[in-house]
Amino acid sequence: MSSSPRRCAPARGSAPILAVILAATVVVGAAVLVPAAHAAAPGSYGIGTTPTEAEIAGWSIAVPPSGANLPPGHGSVSQGSDLFGTVCAVCHGAFGEGVADYPRLAGGVGSLATVAPAETVGSYWPYATTLFDFINRAMPFYAPHSLTPDQVYALTAFILNLNGIVPDGFVADAQTVPAVKMPNRDGFIWKDPRPLTHDTECMTKCVDPASLRITSTAKGDHLTPRTTGPVDDMKAKHP
Amino acid sequence: MTQEAAGTEEGSGAPAMASRRRLLRTGVVAGGAMLAASARAASPPDDPMWSRTLGPGVADRPYGQPSQYEKDAIRRYVPWLTQSTQSDVSFTPLQDQPGILTANGFFYERYHSGRPSVDPAQHRLLIHGLVDRPLLLSMDQLQRFPSVARIHFLECAANGGPEWPAAQLNSLQFTHGMVGCAEWVGVPLSTLLGEVGVKKEGKWVLVEGADGAHMDRSLPIEKCLDDCLVVWGQNGEALRPEQGFPLRLIVPGWQGNVSVKWLRRIEVGATPWYTREETGKYTELLPSGKALGFTWVNEAKSVLTFPCPEKPLTSGAGFYELRGLAWSGRGKIRQVDVSTDGGVSYTRAALQEPVLTKALTRFTLPWRWDGKPVLLQSRATDETGYVQPGIAELRKVMGTGSVYLNNSIQTWQVLADGSVNNVQLS
C-alpha cells in the first residue's frame, strides 16, 4: 500500500462515512463501526493525543549520518580522556583495549581482510555519528542515557582519537562529528545479496559416500553447558 | 518416603502440608511397608500412590507451573559468550517443545541492557517524524485500534553462530535455541502509519525500545506497511517482560533484533539511521574485508528435534519417529527431506498442519533404526524454491569467522549406544 494518497485527506474527508456509520449504529447496534484499516484517512480513528514539540524532542535521540538531531554542545579529546578514565575505563580499559570480555573500543584498523579481523568502533563502524548516538543512548552500561551532550561529545572525540582517526586537538560538536570520515566508511554492501546458495532438492546419490568425512565433532568438548539440572553457570570450568 | 509418592508435592497450600504431616505420621507407624510401596513401579498391576491419594485443589497454584518432573526443560545460557548476563542471550529448550508454539516461559531472551520492568499505565508509544499528524498513545488507546492475531517465529540472526568455525556445542538447545514461535496479538503497523499519515518522503522507519539500551533499528517503509505488527499479546496472555511487556514490534521473518521490545517510539524518516545495531553489529564481515548490511531475512532452516544430543535413542534398535521443526523468513515451508546417511540420499518427511507463513512448521518421518551408527540430517525447502544448504557450502561464501546467517543443515551423529552428537561433514 502506498503512503502518499492518504496524506492530504484529513478527518474532514471521512466525515460523511462516519456519519453514515454512526447512523447505522443506532439501527444495528454493535455492527461495523469504522472503515477498514487500509481505507482510513489520517486521524480518522481519532484515538490518542497530539504530542507537544517538547515531548517529541525529549525522546528523539537518534542521530543519522547527516548529523541532523545532534544537540548543541562540544567536547575535546582531553576532556574525553579524563571522563573516560573515571567512567568507562573500568570496563573498556584505559586505552579502549577492553577489560575481560567487555568490548574493545580501539584498534584493528586494516585487519578486516585478514584471518584475524578485529571489528571495533575504529576499524569497522562506518559513521562517527553512530558513536555519539550509541554512547548517548546506552552508556555507561550501568547508567544508560545519563551523560550530558558535552560529555558525550568529549567521549566521542576521545574514542575517535584513540583510534587515530582525529588529531589530539579535535573538538567534537554538531558540525565536526558528521564530517569525520571513518576508515571503513565504504566497507559495507547495503543491499542483501542473498540467497547465497542455489541447491536443488537432490534425493539420491547427492554426495559420494566415499568422500564423506566428519570434519569436526562437539562430542567431549568443554564448551557446552549442562542441559540437565539447574542452569549451568560453568563457574567450575571457567574460573 | 518421598513426597512424590504421597502425591502432594505439587500442592503448596496449607491442606497439602497438613496431609503431608498426616502421611509422615502414618509413615512412622507403617515404616518399611510404606517405603517398599513407594519404591515400587507405578506400572500394572499396582495402582500408583497418586491414584490412591487426594490431590491439591483448584487455584492452589493460581498461575500454573510445569510438572515437577519437567525441571530440566528451562532456558539456559552459554556463560562464555559475553561478559554480562545483561547483554546476553538465553536459549529455547527446543528438545522439550513438542509442537510449533514455544511456551512463553521457554522463549529465548536477548537483552542489551537487561530486562526493564515497564509500567503499562505509564508506557507511551510516540509516532512522529515525516508524518501529517504525530501521535502519542497510551496502552489503553493503542488497544482500541482494530487488532489481529498471527503466528510467527522469531529467530536471532546469530542462531547457530558458534557453529561457523566447527561443531562446538553438543546440544540442540545451544545450536538452534535462539528461535521461538508464538501467537502474537496486536495492531498492524500499517494501521498506525495510516492513522498518522506518512509523508511522500517517508521511506524509512526507526523503531526504538524503552529499555536502557534504547534499542533502535531502521526498517524500510515497505516492510512496515506489509506485515509488521505492534503487539501486546503472546500465546494466550500478555507479553512476558522477557518478550517486551507491555508492547513490542513483530517483524515477521526478519532477524529477531529488529522486532524491538518495550517499543516506545516510531519515527518516520527519509533515510536509514545506521544505528550501532545495524553497523557495528548484525552485519556480516566477509573474508574479503567487505561487510554485508541490512541482511534482515531469516533464510530457510530446519533441524531434527528428535533425536538430538539431549534426547538420545534410549530403547535400542526398532521403530522411532524422527521429528523436527522447519521455518523460513520468506514464507511457507514447502517440504522437508530427511537423510539417515549423511546427505547421500533423502526421504521426504510429512509436514504437519498448520503450515503457516513465517512460522515454525513441524515435520515427521517414521523410521526403523537398525542399531548401527547413522548420520541424521534434515533439509528444508521454502515456497520460493530455496533449499537449505550444507555448512561446507555456506562457508565457501561466508568464511569461518562469521557470527550471523548460519542456516546450514545440521548433522546429528547417532552412535550404536543411541547417544547423539553434533558433528559437521565435509
The answer, yes or no, to whether residue A8 has pLDDT greater than 50, is no
The answer, yes or no, to whether residue A12 has pLDDT greater than 50, is no
In chain A, the largest separation of any two C-alpha atoms, in whole Å, equals: 79
Integer Cα distance of B204 and B216 in angstroms: 13
Q: Count CA atoms closer than 13 A to A99's CA, side-chain side.
A: 9
B118 and B242 belong to one structural domain: yes
B274/A127 touch (CB, cutoff 8 Å), yes or no? yes
State the pLDDT confidence band at A43, using cuts at 50, 70 and 90.
Answer: confident
B362 and B414 belong to one structural domain: yes
- Type of residue numbered B18: A
Neighbours of B294 (CB within 10 A): 18
Which segments of B210-360 are extended strands (E)? 216-220, 229-234, 237-238, 248-250, 263-269, 284-285, 291-292, 301-306, 318-327, 333-339, 347-348, 350-352
Residue B38 lies in a domain: no
Among A203, A212, A231, the residue with its CB nearest the CB of B426 is: A212
Examine the fold and report which residue of B249, B272, B292 is the final residue of a domain before the chain moves on: B292
User: pLDDT tens, B31-59?
Assistant: 444 444 455 578 899 999 999 999 999 99
B214 and B302 belong to one structural domain: no
B304 and B288 belong to one structural domain: no
Rounded to two decimals, the ipTM of the complex is 0.89
Residue B64 lies in a domain: no
Instruction: Please give the backbone phi and psi of residue B348, each rounded to the nearest 5 degrees, phi first.
Output: -70, 130
Residue B221 lies in a domain: yes
All 3 cell numbers of residue A94?
A: 584505559
pLDDT (0 to 100) of residue B37: 47
- Tally of domains in chain B: 2
All 3 cell numbers of residue B417?
A: 549406544
Integer Cα distance of B309 and B93 in angstroms: 12
All 3 cell numbers of residue A232?
A: 549451568
Contact list in B for residue A231 (CB cut-off 8 A) is: 74-77
A42/B173 touch (CB, cutoff 8 Å), yes or no? no
B194/A38 touch (CB, cutoff 8 Å), yes or no? yes
A207/B79 touch (CB, cutoff 8 Å), yes or no? no
| Distance (Å) of CA A98 to CA A28, A91, A95 | 68, 6, 8
Instruction: Please give the backbone phi and psi of residue A217, each rounded to the nearest 5 degrees, phi first.
Output: -135, 145
Helices (DSSP H) in B3-131: which residue ranges? 3-6, 14-30, 32-39
B376 and B414 in contact (C-beta within 8 Å)?
Answer: yes
Residue B95 lies in a domain: yes
B162 and B264 belong to one structural domain: yes
All 3 cell numbers of residue A79?
A: 576532556
B224 and B324 belong to one structural domain: no
Residue B80 lies in a domain: yes
B286 and B306 belong to one structural domain: no
Strand partners for A216: B424
Pick the CATH number of A76-179 from 1.10.760.10, 1.10.10.10, 3.30.70.100, 3.40.50.2000: 1.10.760.10
B205 and B306 belong to one structural domain: no
- What is the pTM for the complete model shown? 0.89
Examine the fold and report which residue of B259, B275, B292 is the final residue of a domain before the chain moves on: B292
B181 and B323 belong to one structural domain: no
Helices (H) and strands (E) in chain A, counts: 7, 4
Listed residue (B87, B93, B84) closest to B174, CA to CA:
B93
B261 and B314 belong to one structural domain: no
| Chain B 384-403, residues with CB within 8 Å of chain A CB atoms | 386-389, 392-394, 397-398, 401
The CATH number given to whatever domain includes residue B317 is: 2.60.40.650
B251 and B309 belong to one structural domain: no
pLDDT (0 to 100) of residue B40: 58
Of the two residues A133 and B2, the one the predictor is more confident about is A133
B422/A218 touch (CB, cutoff 8 Å), yes or no? yes
pLDDT in tens, chain B (426 residues): 333 333 334 434 344 444 444 444 443 444 444 444 455 578 899 999 999 999 999 999 999 999 999 999 999 999 999 999 999 999 999 999 999 999 999 999 999 999 999 999 999 999 999 999 999 999 999 999 999 999 999 999 999 999 999 999 999 999 999 999 999 999 999 999 999 999 999 999 999 999 999 999 999 999 999 999 999 999 999 999 999 999 999 999 999 999 999 999 999 999 999 999 999 999 999 999 999 999 999 999 999 999 999 999 999 999 999 999 999 999 999 999 999 999 999 999 999 999 999 999 999 999 999 999 999 999 999 999 999 999 999 999 999 989 999 999 999 999 999 999 999 999
List the domain range (segments joined by +) for residue B302.
3-13+298-423
Residue B27 lies in a domain: no
Element (H, E) at B91: strand B88-91
A40/B191 touch (CB, cutoff 8 Å), yes or no? yes
The answer, yes or no, to whether residue A30 has pLDDT greater than 60, is no
- Type of residue numbered A171: V
DSSP per-residue letters across A35-77: --GGGPPTTTT--SBPPPHHHHHHH-----TT-TTPPS-EEEH
User: pLDDT tens, A56-96?
Assistant: 999 999 999 999 999 999 999 999 999 999 999 999 999 99
Q: Is B312 exposed, middle or buried (0-12, 13-18, 19+ CB in 10 A)?
A: middle
What torsion, rounded to 10 degrees, do the Cα atoms B343, B348, B353, B354 define? 50
User: pLDDT tens, B122-162?
Assistant: 999 999 999 999 999 999 999 999 999 999 999 999 999 99
The answer, yes or no, to whether residue A221 has pLDDT greater than 90, is no
Contact list in B for residue A235 (CB cut-off 8 A) is: 79
The CATH number given to whatever domain includes residue B241 is: 3.90.420.10
Element (H, E) at B89: strand B88-91
State the pLDDT confidence band at A39, using cuts at 50, 70 and 90.
Answer: low
How close is the nearest chain A Cα to the Cα of B45, in Å? 32
Contact list in B for residue A117 (CB cut-off 8 A) is: 285, 289, 401
Among A126, A137, A197, the residue with its CB nearest the CB of B214 is: A137
All 3 cell numbers of residue B52?
A: 490412591
Integer Cα distance of B78 and B91 in angstroms: 9
B223 and B314 belong to one structural domain: no
Integer Cα distance of B345 and B341 in angstroms: 7
Examine the fold and report which residue of B270, B292, B314 is the final residue of a domain before the chain moves on: B292
Residue B54 lies in a domain: no
Residue B56 lies in a domain: no
Query: Touching check for B133 and chain A: CB below 8 Å?
Result: yes
